[in-house]
Amino acid sequence: MALAKLLEGKIVADRIKDKLKASVLSLKQAPVLASILVGDDPSAMAYVKSQAKIATSLGITYNLHQLAESISEDELIDFVLKLNADVSVNGIIVQIPLPQDINYMKVCEFILPNKDVEGMHPTNIGKVLFGRVRIVACTANAVMELLSFTGIDLYGKEVVVVGHSEIVGKPLALLLLEKFATVTVCHIGTSKAGKLEEHVRRAEILIVAVGKAGLIKGDWIKEGAIVIDVGINRVGDKIVGDVEFATAAKRASWITPVPGGVGPLTVAILMRNLIEAAQAQ
């Protein structure tokens, strides 16, 4: 069997970015993204750096607000409210992880829905539920873009999503349902019941967003399946996904590399959400 084709996020991201450059030029002024970083978590700092670089390359103003690790939840919410009131700010993003005593989803509830460029406000999540998609969670949307790139028609396909977080698995399941895929969402309960393998084995499309290296064995992959690995895990000095790549690539038709799959696309989608928010405002 031939090796799977690589589903590289960069190629799709570059196409999106080309369109975004033109959209920015058509706006009266450069859109402004306010990014809130609490503390100095190294992975969040790296993510912020890459966001800032891409924003600048597109003509977007990226304002980083680095706040002290000691900030309380109420103080952070007050900060968000100030950015809501600032008409020069088009979009707000709260970087994760946050300190343990701050609830990320609660903070997101205070972002104005039309400035919530990550699609985390309940109003925006609710719109996804009703199929009135406006701003959609970036990672879930990145997965949909990758699937679209393969040319697959999702209608009636057996899609298995592993992971049911608010930022990836749950919104993704809704987006897939919108396309009439048959969606199974697996989570820790599925694994504990010993049923993860049987669900993965019948997936025509498998999307994994857990954060556990090697959780999905390569020989579980159905021949010809499309495999999208959202997971990011540091193993020694390497970054790997949740799927055993080498063996999975011998069975899949398409597979995302990690790094280089979903990641590069997520930031491009974030910028697209910002520009769409600025246009709507």
Interface residue with ligand NDP among 17, 164, 199, 272 (CB under 6 A) is 164
Chain centroid to CA 118: 9
Interface residue with ligand NDP among 108, 120, 168, 275 (CB under 6 A) is 168
Interface residue with ligand NDP among 32, 232, 240, 271 (CB under 6 A) is 232
Structural contact between residues 211 and 239, judged by C-beta atoms closer than 8 angstroms: no
Beta bridge partners of 228: 207
Considering only 60-68, 152-160, 207-215, 220-228, which stretch makes contact with ligand NDP by CB under 6 A?
207-215
Q: Cα Rg for the chain, rounded, in angstroms?
A: 19
Backbone angles phi, psi at 91, to 5 degrees: -150, 150
Which of 89, 269 has the CB closer to ligand NDP? 269
Angle between helices 262-280 and 138-150 (to 10 degrees): 110
Considering only 51-59, 173-181, 209-217, 243-251, which stretch makes contact with ligand NDP by CB under 6 A?
209-217
139: contact with ligand NDP by CB under 6 A: yes
Beta bridge partners of 35: 64, 93
Give the end-to-end CA distance of the chain in Å, rounded to a whole number.
Answer: 51
188: contact with ligand NDP by CB under 6 A: yes
Which of 86, 212 has the CB closer to ligand NDP? 212
**DSSP codes joined into one string, 70-93:** T--HHHHHHHHHHHHH-TT--EEE
169: contact with ligand NDP by CB under 6 A: yes
119: contact with ligand NDP by CB under 6 A: no
Smallest gap from residue 186 Cβ to ligand NDP (A): 6
Smallest gap from residue 163 Cβ to ligand NDP (A): 4
E runs forming strands in 1-136: 5-6, 32-38, 61-67, 91-94
Which of 29, 43 has the CB closer to ligand NDP? 43
Question: Residue 33, SS3?
Answer: strand
Interface residue with ligand NDP among 231, 244, 251, 271 (CB under 6 A) is 231
Cα–Cα distance measured from residue 190 to residue 172, given in angstroms and rounded to the nearest whole number: 18
262: contact with ligand NDP by CB under 6 A: yes
Residues contributing to the site for ligand NDP (CB under 6 A):
139, 162-165, 167-169, 186-188, 190-191, 196, 209-212, 215, 230-233, 262-263, 266
